[in-house]
A and B are shown apart, each in its own frame.
Chain A
Amino acid sequence: MAASSAGMSVLLCNNIKQIALFYPSQQRQSLCVIRGIYTPASLCQSKGQIKRKSAPKELVGVVGLEVHAQIHANTKLFSRAGVGFQAPPNSLVSFFDASLPGTLPVLNRRCVEAAVMTGLALNCFINKKSVFDRKHYFYADLPAGYQITQQRRPIAVDGTLTYSHLGGPKRNALVTRSVRIKQIQLEQDSGKSLHDDLRGQTLIDLNRAGVGLMELVMEPDMTCGDEAAAAIRELQLILQALGTCQGHMDEGQLRVDANVSVHKPGDPWGIRTEVKNINSVRNLARAIDYEIQRQVGVLDSGGTVQNETRSFDAKSGRTVAMRDKEGLQDYRFMPEPNLPPLMVYDHCSTVPPGVHPSQVVALEEVRAQLPEMPSVRRAMMVEAYDILPEHSFTLMNEEGLMDYFESVVRETKAGPRKVIGWVMNVLLGLLNQHSLGVSQSPITPKALAQLLDLQETGLISSSVAKQVFQELWKAPGKTARQVVQEQNLEIVNNSTEIHRICQEVVDTHPEQLQAIRDGNKRVLNKLIGLVQKETKGRADPVLVRAILEDMTS
């Protein structure tokens, strides 16, 4: 409590002036041209569209994201307690994490490297000298009463995240956009609180308190849920490729808060709300789209949007106001007195003499160790397999699908273009239908490769191949060849046999024959269908069509 009287200082008076009514003190307002098309999908769902058609400008969404990525390291940011997801409560807590008096922070080199690597991968300018600050607020899961962060001078600034998403009218054209990254800063995580409403208490687990986080602050360059979801997916892939964060949103390793507002293009920004409690990329899109709609609804009915924090409820798909965050917070930022500035160097050779190598983080070294970025891998796939960028994008987007695709291509004689069709349409379709991930697919790459070989060598027709695929899905133990033999699905291309069947069909359907001769070529398909029915789909379709065309000319 003695510290509180020290708080009544000049610093306090200055901080009060910084409280902006509509934006928090840590985000500078910058002019941003809203490019980009407001996607029809979300617009179409909102009511009152007819009323707005006559208005000259429509309300568009403005979305900015704040991402907290948990650094993948063995120990925490300022203490050597371990980092783990499901450990016994309060077992991964050091005296410093519990903020016992007399403890001091000791910075983890791995966290600095992770932040620098992430900054370089996102084209940021790395500040050679960055400083740490204290952000004060009282909450039971923040034992010290403040969080050590880097608000004034973070480790990386001014970067770009380039991402793509399937847009356009049919949502199958690859649209590439980018979002500016304002800064990347190192900061501490807080502990976890479990609310026990029954007994009116909160249980605190400090295992997560002090874990290193990279906070990525993005400029509000996005306009809807789809774009935000695509940007976060790309960020996940980049962080996973770098190894700096495992990126699982459901485990809390990647936390995203969305700042959403609406305005008419050209007008100043509207009042924004912050949406929290989003635990998946899909829910991010849902939450943002709902919030945009909600704000449009409020403004349309003549109300005003409140500057508040809202929580996303995944079950109902709606955002609700959070009761705990009242009014505006003043974090009373102050420099962290226990930590000197953090220095990173350009090159090993620019290091002043007497500095031990273990104390040096050099940008050139880190840059040299950067692994292959997802965008590079996607471009390579397009080159190597002659597939479309859209294909490459979908392959990369589904976890494990790219490896699956490459395995199949390796083991089959069929060309990559054919494999892409099977993998993206047939396999992915069934996986989505049954809500399975690629790793849970009952059909292994080897099995699919064998099936495609059967089709390639002409043993079965393409429609039969699809049938066999369905069978293999239900009975994963069998091979394609077994299923074909058991159900007698080999292709029938015995020309006499097919001739006989075709003749039979033509003879029994004189009206259709006349229709074709009169010029309606589409009736031919019906006859082909009848022939296939007769042969249980095993007839060689090319041959059947040729024979029937011949007969009906």
Chain B
Amino acid sequence: MRWSTQINNSKVPTVATWEPVLENQLPPPNEVPADLVDKLERLALVDFPNQEGLACLKKSIRFADQLHVVNTEGVEPMDSVLEDRALYLSGDAVADGDCADRLLQLSKQTVEEYFVAPPGNIPLSTRDRAMLKCSASKLEDTSIKTV
């Protein structure tokens, strides 16, 4: 409590310490061939309908390439901020479930207590595709600071 009220103890630097990463510091850019784009669209259910979308993708990848500048020699990656916590083990007694009616209410279409899905895997509906086109062009306008 005392610590945070001390004025001299702010962790925010007074001057910007941001150093731009130059193009020559980065590894050569990865090419994204057309079939890979198709595959990505299928795997992530994302739509890259036009050149703007692809340019956006390339910029995102280039931004992430900045990670290569960091020296990770001998450092184990952290995959969870919980890595020092203990994983809680629960007992095996039933305490959940039996709420089919509440869950089914969330679905637009149900058949006799079953959820309904289109046959096979899930294609995007035309409306969702239109929405994605819109958001892709929006992203392209603002410069990309965060992904």
Contacts of A5 in B (CB 8 A): 46, 60, 139, 147
Nearest to A3 among chain B residues (CB) is B44
Q: Indicate with 1 or 0, residue by residue over A188-201, a CB within 8 angstroms of chain B CB atoms.
A: 00000111110011
Residue of A4, A16, A96, A206 with most chain B CB atoms under a 10 A cut-off: A4
Residues A13 and B80 in contact, CB atoms below 8 Å apart: no
A330/B113 contact (C-beta < 8 A), A138-B122, A335-B80, A343-B86 known:
no
Q: What distance in Å separates the Cβ of B85 from its nearest Cβ neighbour in chain A? A: 5
- How many angstroms between the C-alpha atoms of A248 and B84 in the bound complex? 40
Residues B61 and A13 in contact, CB atoms below 8 Å apart: yes
A203/B114 contact (C-beta < 8 A), A10-B67, A98-B103 known:
yes
Nearest to A90 among chain B residues (CB) is B100
Of A9, A82, A202, which contacts B97 at CB under 8 A?
Answer: A82
- How many angstroms between the C-alpha atoms of A339 and B88 in the bound complex? 9
- How many angstroms between the C-alpha atoms of A195 and B90 in the bound complex? 35
Residues B86 and A355 in contact, CB atoms below 8 Å apart: yes
Of A107, A197, A335, which contacts B87 at CB under 8 A?
Answer: A107
A400 within 8 A of B: no
Residues B43 and A203 in contact, CB atoms below 8 Å apart: no
Of B97, B104, B135, which contacts A81 at CB under 8 A?
Answer: B97
- Residues of A410-455 at the interface with B, using a CB-CB cut-off of 8 Å, are none
Interface size on B, residues (CB 8 A): 57
A106/B90 contact (C-beta < 8 A), A98-B103, A138-B122 known:
yes
- How many angstroms between the C-alpha atoms of A107 and B85 in the bound complex? 14
Q: Indicate with 1 or 0, residue by residue over B86-127, a CB within 8 angstroms of chain A CB atoms.
A: 111111111111111001101000011111111111100000
- How many angstroms between the C-alpha atoms of A108 and B92 in the bound complex? 6
A336/B80 contact (C-beta < 8 A), A89-B114, A201-B119 known:
yes
A91/B97 contact (C-beta < 8 A), A74-B92, A330-B39, A359-B88 known:
yes
Q: What distance in Å separates the Cβ of B35 from its nearest Cβ neighbour in chain A? A: 10
Contacts of A138 in B (CB 8 A): 43, 45, 121-122
- How many angstroms between the C-alpha atoms of A529 and B120 in the bound complex? 68
- How many angstroms between the C-alpha atoms of A139 and B117 in the bound complex? 9
Residues B104 and A90 in contact, CB atoms below 8 Å apart: yes
A337 within 8 A of B: yes
Q: Indicate with 1 or 0, residue by residue over B22-45, a CB within 8 angstroms of chain A CB atoms.
A: 000000001000001001100111
A499 within 8 A of B: no
Nearest to A130 among chain B residues (CB) is B87
Residues B115 and A206 in contact, CB atoms below 8 Å apart: yes
Q: What distance in Å separates the Cβ of B61 from its nearest Cβ neighbour in chain A? A: 6
Q: What distance in Å separates the Cβ of B105 from its nearest Cβ neighbour in chain A? A: 11
A-B CB pair tally, cutoff 8 Å: 183
Residues A81 and B96 in contact, CB atoms below 8 Å apart: yes
Contacts of B36 in A (CB 8 A): 16
- How many angstroms between the C-alpha atoms of A209 and B36 in the bound complex? 31
Of B83, B97, B122, which contacts A140 at CB under 8 A?
Answer: B122
Nearest to B104 among chain A residues (CB) is A90
Contacts of A481 in B (CB 8 A): none
Contacts of A137 in B (CB 8 A): 43
Residues B90 and A89 in contact, CB atoms below 8 Å apart: no
A259 within 8 A of B: no
A: contact size bracket: 35 or more
A131 within 8 A of B: yes
Q: What distance in Å separates the Cβ of B147 from its nearest Cβ neighbour in chain A? A: 6
Of B93, B99, B111, which contacts A80 at CB under 8 A?
Answer: B93
Residues A201 and B92 in contact, CB atoms below 8 Å apart: no
Of B39, B57, B80, B132, which contacts A340 at CB under 8 A?
Answer: B80
B82 within 8 A of A: yes
A319 within 8 A of B: no
A349 within 8 A of B: no
Residues B132 and A201 in contact, CB atoms below 8 Å apart: no
Nearest to A109 among chain B residues (CB) is B89
Contacts of A9 in B (CB 8 A): 60, 64, 147
B19 within 8 A of A: no
Q: What distance in Å separates the Cβ of A70 from its nearest Cβ neighbour in chain B? A: 14
A353 within 8 A of B: no
- How many angstroms between the C-alpha atoms of A89 and B101 in the bound complex? 10
Q: Indicate with 1 or 0, residue by residue over B62-91, a CB within 8 angstroms of chain A CB atoms.
A: 001101000000000001111111111111
Contacts of A408 in B (CB 8 A): none
Residues A75 and B117 in contact, CB atoms below 8 Å apart: no
Of B93, B119, B128, which contacts A74 at CB under 8 A?
Answer: B93
Q: What distance in Å separates the Cβ of B9 from its nearest Cβ neighbour in chain A? A: 30
Residues B116 and A204 in contact, CB atoms below 8 Å apart: yes
- How many angstroms between the C-alpha atoms of A77 and B67 in the bound complex? 35
Contacts of A205 in B (CB 8 A): 114-115
Of B67, B94, B120, B128, which contacts A82 at CB under 8 A?
Answer: B94
Q: What distance in Å separates the Cβ of B41 from its nearest Cβ neighbour in chain A? A: 10
Residues B92 and A91 in contact, CB atoms below 8 Å apart: no
Contacts of B79 in A (CB 8 A): 131, 334-335, 337
Contacts of A94 in B (CB 8 A): 96-97, 99
A93 within 8 A of B: yes
- How many angstroms between the C-alpha atoms of A408 and B64 in the bound complex? 73
Residues B39 and A201 in contact, CB atoms below 8 Å apart: no
Residues B94 and A80 in contact, CB atoms below 8 Å apart: yes
Contacts of A355 in B (CB 8 A): 86
- Residues of A1-20 at the interface with B, using a CB-CB cut-off of 8 Å, are 1, 4-10, 12-13, 16
B interface residues (Cβ-Cβ under 8 A, vs A): 30, 36, 39-40, 43-46, 57, 60-61, 64-65, 67, 79-100, 103-104, 106, 111-122, 128, 131-132, 135, 139, 147
Given A8-B64, A336-B80, A340-B82, 6 other A-B contacts at CB below 8 A?
A: A80-B95, A88-B113, A106-B88, A109-B90, A334-B79, A341-B80
21 A-B residue pairs with Cβ-Cβ distance under 8 Å, sorted by A, are: A1-B46, A73-B92, A74-B92, A75-B93, A80-B96, A91-B97, A93-B103, A96-B96, A107-B90, A138-B121, A139-B122, A201-B117, A201-B119, A202-B116, A202-B120, A204-B114, A205-B115, A340-B87, A343-B87, A358-B89, A359-B88
A interface residues (Cβ-Cβ under 8 A, vs B): 1, 4-10, 12-13, 16, 73-75, 79-82, 88-96, 98, 100, 106-110, 112, 131, 136-140, 193-197, 200-206, 323-324, 330, 332, 334-343, 355, 358-359, 361
Nearest 5 CB-CB pairs, A to B?
Answer: A335-B79, A140-B117, A81-B97, A94-B96, A203-B114
